[in-house]
Each structure stands twice: as C-alpha cells, then as structure tokens.
Structure 1
Amino acid sequence: MRNLPAFTLAGYEKGRSKLVQALWFAVMNTLFMAWFCPARVRVALLRAFGATIGEGVLIRHRVRVLWPWKLTVGDHTWIGEGAWLLNLEPVTLGAHVCVSQEALLCTGSHDHRAADFRYRNAPITVEDGAWIAARATVLAGVTVGRHAVVAAGTTLHRDLPELTLHTADGRRPIPVPA
C-alpha cells in the first residue's frame, strides 16, 4: 500500500539555495519563456544561472528548464518551442542535437514498488547529432546515441544505440548517407 505522507526528498539535491531557485523561477516564468525574449538572451540567462552552453545554441520560447546549473549543451544545438527539460539530475545535450517542439526530457521518477514512493532519478545524455522529435519523451537514466532519432510522440525508457531510430513499434538502424 502506498504511504505518500512518508515521501521525503532523501537522495535529491537541488544544487542551489532556495533564494537562487526562487530567482530562477521568477526569471524563467517572466522573461526566459517569453516569445519576445531573444534566443541569445535565453542563452545568457542560462549561463548566468550556471548552465554550460556551447556556441551557436538556439533556444526557442516556452522552453522550460528546471535547474540551469544541471544543464550542459554542446555547440550548435537547437531546443524547440515548448520543450521541457525536467532536470532534477544532469541533462547533457551534445553538439548539433535537436530537441524538437514540446519534447520532454525527464530525469525524475519514483519507485512504484516502495510504499514511500521515493525518488528514482537519473541523468539523461543525448549524444552529438541526435534528434529528439516533437512531443517525444526521454526518461531518467537514458543515453541517446550519436545521430540516433527518437520519433515524434514516442517514449524512450532505455538506451538508444547510435544511428538508430526509436519508433512506437521498435528500433531500426538509420541508413548512413554515402
């Protein structure tokens, strides 16, 4: 039987003070997500809050990042409108990665077998050249290999090898252009 009042934050470290967390939420919900905020300002705001962001990164409006200090983004990566990086643990996006519109990268989960529903969080890594398509979900502990594709609307709960396409009905190798 589930005992939700027994839930604690044991094993989960937010990484910054409550003041910094509150300041980030204020900035994210007023300026960072706004349509009128230039992409270069979004990058600067993430860096100011501790994210490691490469060169030529494009971050569109309505993107949500839970904790910038747990985010690393490589060069020339795109993060599309409405994407949500729910990074209770580190999220690492390589170079030339595309995270499309409304994709969800979720590093947090719960142990459904434990009465206290304790956290089962783990980092996510998306390697160089990979594509997380529109409304795809990548779950905690997953690595998306180089040049792999997570198809639109699918959920990925285990590692995806490089040059592989993950679809709702299974994985397929991606042909390499000659």
Structure 2
Amino acid sequence: MTARDLSAFTLAGYDKGRSKAVQALWFAVMNTVFSAWFCPARLRVAILRAFGATIGEGVLIRHRVRVLWPWKLTVGDRTWIGEGAWLLNLEPVTIGADVCVSQEALLCTGSHDHRTVDFRYRNAPITVEDGAWVAARAIVLAGVTVGRHAVVGAGTVLSKDLPELTLHTADGTRTLKEPQQ
C-alpha cells in the first residue's frame, strides 16, 4: 500500500454551489441567529429558504441545528429536525414529508477514498423518504437512502440503503408494519 500524502488533497470534483461571499454570510447567520435558542422555528425556515433551501409547509427546525449548505437541502411538509441535528450536506440531502430527524442525528454526505494517496473526496447524496425516522444520535452516511417509514435506531450508524418499513438497530434489522392511521 502506498503511503497517504494529505498535502496532495484538493477540492477536485467538489462544488460548494455558491460564492465565498455567500458561504461566509451563511456561516455568520448560522452561527449567530439560525442555531440560537431564541430564534423562532418559523424564522429558521425562512432563513433556510432565503439561502436557497427548498422547505415544505409545517416544518419544525429546533435550535442548534447545523446545515452546511442550505442550497443543497430539500425538506418535505410537516418534517421535524431536532435539537443539535447536523446536516453535513456537501452533496444534496433530500428529506421527505412527515420525517423526524431526532436530536443530535448526523446526516453526512461527505467521505474520503481511503484507497487513494491524496485521500480525495468520495461524497454522495442522502435521501430520507416520507415518514422515516432517524432517531437520536443516529448517523446516516454518504450515498444512503432511508426508505419510506423506515427507522434508523438511536445511536446506530447506517452505511447502506435501508428498505421501506425496516428498523435498523445495533442488533440488526427487522421488518415493520405499515403505520396506523
């Protein structure tokens, strides 16, 4: 195996999607107003929309939520994003309707290719389909789709697609029943 040379790393193939000025403005707003406890949830939604996110109706975003790039975020109607959740979206994150992303969950679209000397990016989008639940402190990794009404259990790491109506826990996966009306 060839030794890793991090000095050879570049941003090749990664497009942040906005100018450095817009990126800086977003970081300033995110770190002073957006994530603050005193910022109303409706204002958080308005701020994300102002920075290019597509956000549905009735969305609740709690305080201390971090979003790397709002312009790479789509959220469906009536979705909840819990306190301290981190949407590390170097690539698009698409969250469906009636989804719950619980406290301190991490959706991470970024990764590196450990097989290359320059440790280049190996990023991929994440999709969380309608009715899914990403429980507290769960981690969803790059390139993964969480199926309709699936559950990513608290504290687990999901590195491959989770079919609809499936529960993923530290003990494995099992099929769920259709939600009751």
Instruction: Compute the TM-score of the two structures, normalised by the length of structure 1.
Output: 0.99
Ranges of 4+ aligned residues in structure 1 off by more than 4 Å: none
**Equivalent residue runs for 1:8-157 within 5 Å:** 8-157=10-159
Q: 1:46-78: per-residue Cα shift (whole Å, max 9, x none)? A: 000000000000000000000000000000000
Letter in 1 for 2:71: W
Letter in 1 for 2:151: V
In structure 2, how many angstroms separate the alpha carbons of the residues matched to 1:161 and 1:88?
Answer: 24
Secondary structure of the structure 2 residue equivalent to 1:172: strand
**RMSD between aligned residues:** 0.7
Report deviation, 1:177: 5.2
| Paired positions, count | 178
Sequence identity of aligned pairs in percent?
A: 85
Report deviation, 1:169: 1.9
Secondary structure of the structure 1 residue equivalent to 2:43: helix
In structure 2, how many angstroms separate the alpha carbons of the residues matched to 1:126 and 1:33?
Answer: 22
In structure 2, how many angstroms separate the alpha carbons of the residues matched to 1:152 and 1:139?
Answer: 15
Secondary structure of the structure 2 residue equivalent to 1:21: helix
Report deviation, 1:90: 0.1
CA 1:85–1:165: 2 relative to 1, 3 Å: same
Secondary structure of the structure 2 residue equivalent to 1:20: helix
In structure 1, how many angstroms separate the alpha carbons of the residues matched to 2:39 and 2:27?
Answer: 16
Instruction: Compute the TM-score of the two structures, normalised by the length of structure 2.
Output: 0.97
In structure 2, how many angstroms separate the alpha carbons of the residues matched to 1:4 and 1:176?
Answer: 48
